[in-house]
Structure 1
Amino acid sequence: MGADSSGPGGQQAGRAQEVRRGAAVPEGRLSALAERASWRLLFDYLRPHRGTLALGAVLALIGSAAGLAMPLLAKSVIETFGTGRTMLGPVLLLCGAVLAGSIISAVGSFVLERMGEGIVFGARTRLVDRILRLRVAEVDRLKPGDLLSRVTADTTLLRAVCTDALVTAVGSVFMFAGAAVLMAVMDVVLLLITLGVVASVGLVNALILPRIRKASTLAQVALGEMGSALDRALQAFRTVKASGAEHREIEVVSAAARQARDRGVTASAWQSAAGVSAWMSVQLAFLAVLGVGGARVADGSMAIASLIAFLLYLFYLVAPIGQLVQSFTQLQNGLAAITRIREIEELPGEPTVAALRADGPPVGVTFEDVVFRYGDDRPIVHDGVSFEVRAGGLSALVGPSGAGKSTVFALLERFYSPQSGNITMSGRDIRDWDLAELRAAVGYVEQDAPVLDGTLRENLTFAAPDATEAEVRHSLARTKLDDLVARLPEGLETQVGHRGVLLSGGERQRVAIARALLRRPRLLLLDEATSQLDAVNELRLREVIAEVATDTTVLVIAHRLSTVTGADRIIVMESGRVRATGTHAELLADDDLYRELATTQFLATATP
């Protein structure tokens, strides 16, 4: 199935795939393509906020205009000294300009900050939507901590880009141009001196800014790696505690944190260098203008009030340069973050699948000479797998670890696609099934039986939100969970905790099975569904599975052969191939591997 290109990042995804297919794309051109793609994505985020952005920019320009008037008003105040004229008018005008400029700037700042929050919200919801629509194959190779970093830290940097960086840059350019025009009117020679100093410092910053972008990207990648290291420790928290491995995991996370710190320091060093160069331009220009202007005041060619006004305009000219440097620094940080966001948006996705419920008779499944590997550089998992599961009844996949059993389920759910061969369900190639229809027809219980943070009811109805109370109760009874609900303080509304920590392992598996049954699947896939059950509950659940198999096709992966001895058909897999099929009795007689597995388990059961 092809990648979904209906979303905002679809065109970028297509271009990225073309680039990946074309191995001869020059590095410089590839970098330019990536740069343009990042800018396009930035404008995509800005587009819904065009009106607010324009309002913020206009308010920023008005505030800048009010600021440009202040040196002239100050000059008029100074010129009243010793003339006997009243200072009240010029002082009131100066105060009015200060007050008006401050209010307008404050309103503009609020408008832009509010817009920035809206952009971050939009980016996060869009990125989460994209992540949850990714193919399983893509998510499997990504690190959860790094994904969280992109959704949280990287999107936060967009606020500074879309508010301070862009709007401040526009206001700074306006302020610079306005100050330059007024300074030219007052004294062209002093303006040329000022611009000469500014240009020399600008060349230095032109060399620094690309390094800021690179250093910021590396710093954000390191932050994602630190999040992944912490996520690893938290996912296995009990194992870490039981193994006495706290100090080792602390060192792993600390090493990642040190790398993030070191890369952050490098980025800060380049940012500081840009800031220092901007500060130096102010000081050098001030000293040059003060020296030359002072000499001209001394020889009477320039009035002292004009020199003071010019020096004020000097700061209005040079200060925007510092602001521009800061804006470009923020822009480099933001573009680095957008690059990381764009990497997710360009990954192939699949259409969103609604939580439908299946209708129809049980389905049969056929694998025909299926070849599959998880990547071009990975070993073959299925090497010509062929078997048939008849509609209705109970079938089982058995074999040693690594035989490729769980991959059968991944291919049936179309989480992955085989490199060759055919997989059919009810005689139809599964690639011809609508994805929503396919996943509604297939109930899937993972080996880990994940239970989500929330209430027991929310977990049960996760795949069937429209289930009635009677259906929920029936599913609970079939999976022997009604006694559990009766014991819980709030029944179905009881919170089960993060990852179902308040439930036992067996209870979590039965919740997962009950959740799958509520969807009325035509094919039920159970991956080691009884592995954490005690003997009594295993027997009860075997009875449930046998009952479900009367009107549904049930395919079970089993390491404990006691759960599938009554299966209609058992498929024995080894090293990515099917080596035998038959009933329990037939395989005991005809297949050495199955006989060995059965004998070993029966002996193990008999051992004290």
Structure 2
Amino acid sequence: MTADAPAAAAAEAPAAAAAAASAASAASAASEAPAGDPATAPGQRRVGLAALLPYLRAHRGTIAVVGALSLAGAAASLAQPLLTRAVLDGMSAARPVAGLVAVLVALVLGAAALGGLRDYLLQRTAEGVVLGTRRRLAGHLLRLPIAEYDRRRTGDLLSRVGSDTTLLRAVVTSGLFEVVTGAVMVLGAAGAMVLLDPVLFGVTLLGVAAGVGFAVAFAHRMRDLARTAQERIGEMTSAVERAISAVRTIRAARAERREADTIGASAGQAYAAGLRVARVQAFVGPVSTVTIQGAFLLVLGVGGARVAADVITVGDLVAFVMLLFFLVLPLGQAVHAYAQLQTGLGALQRIEEVLAVPVEGAADRPAPVRHTTAPTWPSTAGGAPAAVEFDRVDFHYPGGPPVLREVSFTVPAGTRTALVGPSGAGKSTLLALVERFYDVTGGTLRLGGVDVRDLPRDALRARLGYVEQSAPVLAGTLRENLLISAPDATDGRLRAVLDEVNLGHLAERAPEGLAVQVGEGGVLLSGGERQRLAIARALLAGPPVLLLDEPTSNLDARNEAALRRAIDAVAVRRTLLIVAHRLSTVVDADQIVVLDGGRVAATGTHDELTVTSPLYRELATHQLLVT
């Protein structure tokens, strides 16, 4: 390596610090957690460098190689000023220097080769850290309790997987190793400078220490500033995600300008956060530049005087200036690395906050015997086997009012039970409790005679097929949507289950067959087709109990009739628990449970309830099912 102009070298450290500050603002793209999120709770524990160790452990072999290459490269670089001094002194004394020049060239080339290999391994390690973190975080997010999704914004969770993990790359490539190798370079250069001329080194130390100390003091603020910038940009990301996910509603309501103004306000907050970082950058950079350039000029002045006084040689001064370059450049890189570390640790804290949330099932109560086989169906009082039993079940959401109170009823195996009642009566909540999306807060819920809290969740859900009210369809192909519940199903099985719910035409009307695209959210399908596709998806796993939440919501009469036929077909040899607003779809149910205000108001068949339940008769009258 050869020395550049002293002024350029002097500018390197503050410029690096300035670049770090700018990058902390521009590259940050995470999101703000909603109010009450522990991620923003006052006094939240700040993570330190020790929190990085688990992320680096899998790459410790490569990291050791990178460390060795860094030390070898530093040694090769530090030897160059001393060889340059020997060449200059040899030329002054008319001694042959060809051998020294060859060694110097070899050192330059060797240092460059070592640096290139080190940088590649370091980049590969950084990408590996990001990949591993994203996999770990994505897997954790998909296992969080449903209550966490209820209170967090989607944009916040997405940004932690995307932009927050990206910031870890800079921690590895520009953070840890630049600090370590920079320390080696600084110590080596400082030692050589002391040997060359202690007086000049003292002059250098005064100027450099002042400039770097000032820069480090302000770089420490980058962590909080960068975190704030991440949160503001993330808030904007969440606003964009919210608007795009409801773009049809926004267009229909002619609310584009209002939503754009909301996003613009979030963008303005991100802009303000970026300006705060820029102000620190603008203040640190010039002061550090003046301080360190002053040190260079002082070294040149004092060094020139000492050469003139024959205290040191020209070769000594040139070597000293080159060593000063090797001292200042790593210091600048260290300041840059320190800022990157602060930014990365801010992102890491957001990642760790999500990973610290216990996954679903982590707090499950221990059971004396874990049920890994299928539950048996005990007999009900009437002699029929019981599939699902609600025994004095209470439930409330955390911090909320009671949703269910003393709910008791039994779903006999192989029968069809309908849940009806006014909106907000707790019907959909009952299905969520069966699936253990939430746990009961009182009473007992049993599947096949076993408390669902004593069943492993996988074993429980293997017995259940669940179709949500919104019947979500994932972007992709028809085949991909069906394989979610049964990844090993053959095309023949997929076509059979489509025929079972009267959807065989979806694979027949397009040349792509099962590979036909269904669009984002199933937009290329009708509402009835989305509902029946969701049922087909649930049926593929062959569950004995099927939970249907409002399967006929928002369907016209023709699609409702088609869905009723599909339900009749799949009801054979299965237990159905159906939430329904349209009583026409459940009038022939074996049992109808009427809910009101979170309580069971009545139980019976359609004909019985029209006589015994005023609420059911009112609902049936409004839907013209009775007169």
Displacement after TM superposition at 1:554 (Å): 0.6
After TM superposition, the structure 1 = structure 2 runs for residues 491-510 of structure 1, keeping only pairs within 5 Å, are 491-510=513-532
Letter in 1 for 2:512: E
Deviation at 1:46, TM superposition (A): 0.6
User: How much has 1:158 moved relative to structure 2?
Assistant: 1.0
Q: 2:62 aligns with which of 52, 73, 80?
A: 52
Give, in angstroms, the shift of residue 290 of structure 1: 2.6
Indicate yes or no: 2:220 matched with 1:182.
no
Count of aligned positions: 573
Distance 1:125 1:330, change over 3 A: same
Q: Is the 8 A contact 2:164 2:347 kept in 1?
A: yes
Contact 1:179 1:313 in 2 (8 A): yes
DSSP 3-state at the match of 2:172:
helix
2:398 aligns with one of 375, 385, 397: 375
In structure 2, the CA distance between the partners of 1:455 and 1:578, relative to structure 1 (3 Å rule), is: same
**1:363 Cα deviation from its structure 2 partner:** 5.0
Residues 1:314 and 1:234: Cα distance change in structure 2 (over 3 Å): same
Which of 258, 266, 270 is equivalent to 1:260? 270
Tell me if 1:84 matches 2:77.
no
Contact 1:357 1:519 in 2 (8 A): no
- Cα distance in structure 2, aligned partners of 1:334 and 1:346: 18
1:408 corresponds in structure 2 to 430
Aligned to 1:11: none
* Matches of 2:286 and 2:595, distance apart in 1: 67
Structure 1: stretches of 5+ with no match in the other structure: 1-19
Report how far residue 547 of structure 1 moved: 4.2
Contact 1:370 1:422 in 2 (8 A): yes
Residue 509 of structure 1 contacts residue 532 of structure 1 at CA under 8 Å; is this kept in 2? no
TM-score scaled to structure 1, two decimals?
0.88
Residue 74 of structure 1 and its aligned partner are, at CA, apart by 2.2
- What one-letter code is carried by the residue in structure 2 that aligns with 1:35? V
Deviations 1:570-600 (A, max 9, x none): 1222222222222222222232322222222
Q: Is the 8 A contact 2:528 2:563 kept in 1?
A: no
**CA displacement, residues 329-371 of structure 1 (integer Å, 9 cap, x when unaligned):** 000011011111111111111369xxx9989778522222322
Root-mean-square deviation (Å): 2.7
Structure 2: give runs of 5+ residues left out of the alignment.
1-36, 363-371, 378-384
CA contact (8 A) 1:278 1:325 kept: no
Q: Which of 70, 92, 108 matches 2:118? A: 108
The secondary structure found in structure 2 opposite 1:396 is: strand
Read off the aligned partner of 2:296 and give its amino acid letter: F
CA distance in 1, matches of 2:334, 2:286: 13
State the one-letter code of the partner of 2:593: I
CA deviation after TM superposition for structure 1 residue 455, in Å? 1.9
- Tell me if the contact between 1:371 and 1:384 (Cα under 8 Å) persists in the aligned partners: yes
| 1:32-71 paired onto structure 2 within 5 Å | 34-36=46-48, 39-71=49-81
Q: Which residue is equivalent to 1:7?
A: none
Query: What pairs up with 1:8-47 in 2 under 5 angstroms?
Result: 27=43, 31=45, 34-36=46-48, 39-47=49-57
Q: Which moved more, 1:462-471 or 1:472-481?
A: 462-471
Change (3 A) 1:363 1:496: farther
Contact 2:500 2:569 in 1 (8 A): no
Residue 484 to residue 97, structure 1, CA distance change in 2 (3 Å): closer
Q: State whether structure 2 residue 619 is matched by structure 1 residue 597.
A: yes
Aligned 8 A contact 1:123 1:155 in 2: yes
Alignment check: 8 A CA contact 1:278 1:321 kept = no
- Rounded to whole Å, the distance in 2 between the matches of 1:158 and 1:70 is 34
- Contact 1:358/1:519 (<8 A) preserved: no
Q: CA, structure 1 residues 263+110, in 2 after alignment: closer, same or farther (shift >3 Å)?
A: same
Q: 1:154 aligns with which of 155, 159, 164?
A: 164
Cα distance, 1:95 vs structure 2: 2.5
Amino acid at match of 2:239: A
| Residues 300-336 of structure 1 deviation map (CA, whole Å, 9 limit, x = unaligned) | 3233332222122112112211111001000001101
CA distance in 1, matches of 2:284, 2:611: 79
Contact 1:460 1:472 in 2 (8 A): yes
Secondary structure of the residue that 1:602 maps to in structure 2?
Answer: coil
What amino acid maps onto 2:510 in structure 1? L
CA distance in 1, matches of 2:353, 2:150: 15
> Partner letter of residue 264 of structure 2?
S
Tell me: CA distance 1:51–1:280, structure 2 relative to 1, closer, same or farther (3 Å): farther
Tell me if the contact between 1:154 and 1:338 (Cα under 8 Å) persists in the aligned partners. Answer: yes
State whether structure 2 residue 226 is matched by structure 1 residue 219. no
Task: Give the superposition deviation at 1:176.
Answer: 0.3
Bigger Cα displacement from structure 2, 446-455 vs 134-143: 134-143
% identical aligned pairs: 48
Q: Distance in 2 between matches of 1:363 and 1:289?
A: 91
- Give 1:474 shift: 3.2
Matched residue, 1:97: 107
The answer for the alignment partner of 1:365 in structure 2 is: 388
The change in CA–CA distance for 1:439 and 1:403 in structure 2 (over 3 A counts) is same
Compute the displacement of 1:545 (Å).
2.4
How much does 1:469 deviate? 4.5
User: TM-score when scaled to structure 2?
Assistant: 0.85
